[in-house]
Structures are given as C-alpha cells and as structure tokens.
Structure 1
Amino acid sequence: MFRIPISLSCYILLGYYETCKCESDAVPFTFIEYQYKDSPKNEMTFREFESACEQSSACSHMNGLPRTRCIRECVSPSCYRELYLNDPLEEGEIDVRLNSFKGCFIQRSGRTRN
C-alpha cells in the first residue's frame, strides 16, 4: 500500500530535497500490486505491445492523457480494468501503478521472463 499525501511541499536546492513537509491529511491509496521484474526481455515484451497499441487506429489519433489511457487499455484490457478503471489516471499524476500494470500484463500474457 502506498500513502500519497494530498498536499506535499518539497523545496529543491542544489538538486536534492532540502526539506519536505507533508500535511497530516494524507489519504491511503491502495491498488492491487503485481510483481514486475524489470528485465530487458520483460521491458521488450511490454514495449512491443505498447508500440502496436500506439499505432492502432483506436489510439493513434489521440494525444496526451487520453492517448496514455487508450494505450494501456489496448495493451491489457483486463489489467487496465483492474488497476485503472475505478480510479483513472489524472493530468499530472505520477503513475505509481505502472510497474504493477506491467507485472499484471507479463503474468497474464504468459510471457514471464527473467
């Protein structure tokens, strides 16, 4: 489970975080976590599907966030439903679910590789 604060203020000085203040109104953000081994073969498999979806007629005419959502749903509709449908990505959101999505995709595609 990840905890993402509603408001996080960090001041950057000389390329590192000098101070971070997190307000106490943090809300828990939970999602199903799938293990993903970040290997060249897994990344290549995911990228092949992602590239095909980027070029598909369903997604190729879109831009920005709608395109990202379309591509993810194209790559794996079942993983997309499980991880993003009830809480879609929002503009500017850091996608902490991406590795879990990749893990789900690799697991369900039957292409688990080391």
Structure 2
Amino acid sequence: MYFASLLLNWFFLLCFYGLTKATSEHSPVTFTFKEYQYKDSPKNEMTFREFETACEQSSICSHKVGLTKTRCIRECVSPSCYKELYQNDQLEEGEIDVRLNSFKGCFIQRTGRTRN
C-alpha cells in the first residue's frame, strides 16, 4: 500500500513538472484580427451561402478537399476580406474559425447587400 502511494505521488510530480515546464516554455499568444459586425439574419445567411455555393462549384475550388477547399472558397467569396482576415495568418487544420463572423460581416459590407 505504501509503495503504491509513493508511486502515485511520484507519477503526480512528474506530470505536474511536465505540465509546468511545458506551459512556462510557451508564452500565451493573443490573437487579434479586424472585426466586422455581422447580423445573423436569414437574408444575410442566404446571400453569403449563395456566393459560397457558387465558389464551391467553381472550377477553381471544386477539385480541392478539406482545409485547402475551405481556404479557396473563402478567398473566392471575397478576395479583399480574405486578404485582410486570413492571408497573414492562414486557417490551420483543426482550428476553430473565430474569424468567420467577421469575414461574413466584411463580405456583406463590401458587397453592399446589408439586409436585416
């Protein structure tokens, strides 16, 4: 029993040391990007989805898969918004896209199709 307890304490210390060392080696990075307001309305979603579908079916993006296809579609939907929000910090595999609503807001604003 004593040996098991000692082994458990040793394991805990190794894990704690590893976590502490790993977090102290990497400073947290604050991610910032230009934010555009986006009103999540059926009409705005329909407008965005129309462009997204057209780009998805285009000869430029249709043959691509996965993240490469997502990037291609976004750039096709709005090259200027894509450049501003994604070009300098590409969307990565497994990343939760916190910029998508800003991208949609930028797209709606630049197309002049603001709808309520």
TM-score (structure 2 length as normaliser): 0.77
1:33 pairs with 2:35: yes
Task: Indicate the percent of aligned positions where both proteins have the same amino acid.
Answer: 84
User: 1:68-107 alignment to 2 at 5 Å?
Assistant: 68-107=70-109
Shift, 1:63, TM fit? 0.2
User: 1:57-76 alignment to 2 at 5 Å?
Assistant: 57-76=59-78
Corresponding residue of 2:46: 44
**For residues 22-75 of structure 1, what are the alpha-carbon distances to aligned partners after superposition, in whole Å with 9 as ceiling and x for unaligned?**
x67321100000000000000000000000000000000000000000000000
CA RMSD of aligned residues (A): 1.0
List runs of 5+ in structure 2 lacking aligned partners. 1-22
Which amino acid is the alignment partner of residue 60 of structure 1?
A: S
Q: Which has the larger radius of gyration?
A: 2
Shift, 1:80, TM fit? 0.1
TM-score (structure 1 length as normaliser): 0.79
Whole-angstrom distance in 2 between the partners of 1:50 and 1:26: 34
Which amino acid is the alignment partner of residue 58 of structure 2?
A: S
List runs of 5+ in structure 1 lacking aligned partners. 1-22
Q: Which structure has the highest helix share of the two? A: 2
Count the aligned residue pairs.
92
Q: Which structure has the highest strand share of the two? A: 1
Whole-angstrom distance in 2 between the partners of 1:28 and 1:37: 25
What secondary structure sits across from 1:35 in the alignment? coil
After the TM superposition, which parts of structure 1 deviate over 6 Å for at least 4 consecutive aligned residues? none
